[in-house]
Chains A and B, each alone.
Chain A
């Protein structure tokens, strides 16, 4: 219970009026920068970190936490409103969120994202208090073969984003996998598909691809069909707020999303994207409204948003218990500690519990601030969609390119953005789903390098994949997930014939 007491102490410090003001400022600044596509939460923090240097330790940690949450929520806002994922982890949010926004349900989408991130953040904070020591042991023993098995599970769930034709879905996925090969091979330093262009050696940036395919590609598609169907955007249809049904449909996805996000986030190479994929496909399978998926199902926003947020809290587990910075964001958090000459490591909890729990309490307070700040703004945000169509899309294009310009002002990168936008247009025209491309780019390289690491350590023996209990279990789950739809189909046919 010491942990809980320490958390309470942290909370009393964080709720002092000045500190609340810092949290509010942090959330505001974080949102302002985080809405830029290509500038994810880690970078937002990096960018604004110097501002926090001027404050006392408590104040600076709190502002820091605010910036972080603001940056994360900023990415979701643009995903929902203008189909422009601010970072790779909010790509899944765009799938259903933007459809909701276009159908006049942007208000509930933004609200379920904000409340979901709050629910997930709260649960994950409790997770850190009670589960951290146990979870970190699991995390450290998670070897390359186990990661590979986890990727296999993730790959199978990708089919949830395929639409109705498996061939077209797989084609999209393989285009993504191909893009994932571009650049220097992490294990041997061998350049692949770079064709001697130095700018390609670092590979294809996920946000460049996502923004090109989603936002700009869609603008192109809508413009090309304007003479056929005039797209009508109603900012608000029905309630601006979440209805009772929305709450009911969001609740379990929030919880399940947290259950995916927190443990996977705690894995040193888990990341925030995989839990969002898993959450999306789970919700798609479990929903009572399967017909709404692909047309704006609230579960598809609630689950992945909660997963994204919980995974961020999950990265704190290895960071605080072992001093392992496992994500760019965690590395930035380290920088926050280093301001006080602390070298985080396994002794940090024992040596400076005040700072550790202060940080956790600050994240909690920042999460509340986010809710306080953003819920009243939802009405204002959705009004953006009332801007006349030519200006709205022109603004989206300016915004999308600006993210890329700010992140990497190179002609090669901008040309890639333009190329992906043409690809996005063609894929829409020929009815290829775009999401699997991004999924392939994210998952492919991770799956490949983890498999190769596993085989390198086992000296080429593939049995290593079955010898690890964790990996064997995950592979069994994958097989089940693959076969379950067929089995279920067979069963329902059986039932039908019984009638």
Chain B
């Protein structure tokens, strides 16, 4: 908790409060666009309005916290590590989406994550990831009949 002297408005906290308010507004907008008629009891719109109102109130609460500087202090973070992991996930989605198959997707994600955690041996990690992916594929797809996305490599087996 920050001491009295260092308390000043927390910009990031206000952005969060703004996002929460935005979510509330989207919910109101979505609910008011509904045209379903409910004859009895409570309709589908009621709950979005209740939750949206709660969200708006919480947005104000968070704004007050941020304004008073009551948001927790944050330590510096390593953007490269974040970028690597998210990049790995994006690559995985792209490879699977484009039909590249499970094994290469897994290998890329594995290597990217290991690098984010400080390993500096991308070739070895790619190989380990591929072997892991292959083993998983054999075990789950072939033996336990779970169907994993197949690309050119998987079709060989």
Which residues of A line the B interface, CB within 8 A? 29, 32-33, 36, 39, 47-48, 167-168, 170-171, 174-175, 177-178, 181, 185, 187-190, 192-193, 195, 216, 219-220, 223-228, 389-391, 393-395, 397-398, 401-402, 405-406, 409, 411, 414-415, 417-418, 421-422, 425, 429-431, 444, 448, 451-460
Contacts and interface: CB of A to CB of B under 8 A. Distances in A.
Nearest to A231: B117
A226 B78 contact: yes
A185 B140 CA distance: 35
A390 B145 contact: no
6 contacts: A167-B58, A174-B54, A190-B36, A390-B115, A405-B149, A452-B46
Contacts of B114: 390-391, 393-394
A430 B12 contact: yes
Interface in B96-122: 96-97, 102, 106, 109-111, 113-119
A411 B93 contact: yes
A262 B76 CA distance: 47
B140 to A, nearest CB: 7
B30 A452 contact: no
A397 B88 contact: yes
Nearest to B110: A394
Nearest to B132: A398
Interface residues of B, number: 73
A429 B74 CA distance: 7
Contact of A455 (B40, B111, B136): B40
Given A167-B58, A178-B27, A459-B40, A430 B13 contact: yes
A204 to B, nearest CB: 14
A401 B92 contact: yes
B144 interface: yes
Given A405-B102, A421-B86, 18 more contacts: A48-B144, A167-B61, A174-B51, A181-B48, A223-B113, A227-B78, A390-B114, A391-B128, A394-B117, A397-B109, A398-B106, A401-B106, A405-B149, A409-B96, A414-B89, A414-B96, A452-B46, A460-B41
Contacts of B62: 167-168, 171
A418 B90 CA distance: 8
Nearest to B84: A223
B96 to A, nearest CB: 7
B20 A390 contact: no
A226 B81 contact: yes
B77 interface: yes
A103 B99 CA distance: 41
Contacts of A167: 58, 61-62, 65
B32 to A, nearest CB: 12
Nearest to A165: B65
Contacts of B41: 452-460
B82 A181 contact: no
A451 B27 contact: no
A346 to B, nearest CB: 31
Contact of A393 (B34, B102, B113): B113
A226 B114 CA distance: 12
Contacts of B30: 192-193, 195
Contacts of A216: 89
Contact of A395 (B12, B86, B96, B132): B132
Given A406-B148, A430-B72, A414 B44 contact: no
Contacts of B89: 216, 397, 401, 414, 417-418, 421
Contact of A32 (B90, B144, B145): B144
A31 to B, nearest CB: 12
Nearest to B59: A171
Contacts of A193: 26-27, 30, 48
Contacts of A187: 44
B150 to A, nearest CB: 10
B82 A223 contact: yes
B142 to A, nearest CB: 13
A188 B144 contact: no
A430 B117 contact: no
Interface in B4-55: 12-13, 16, 20, 23, 26-27, 30-31, 34, 36, 38, 40-44, 46-48, 51, 54-55
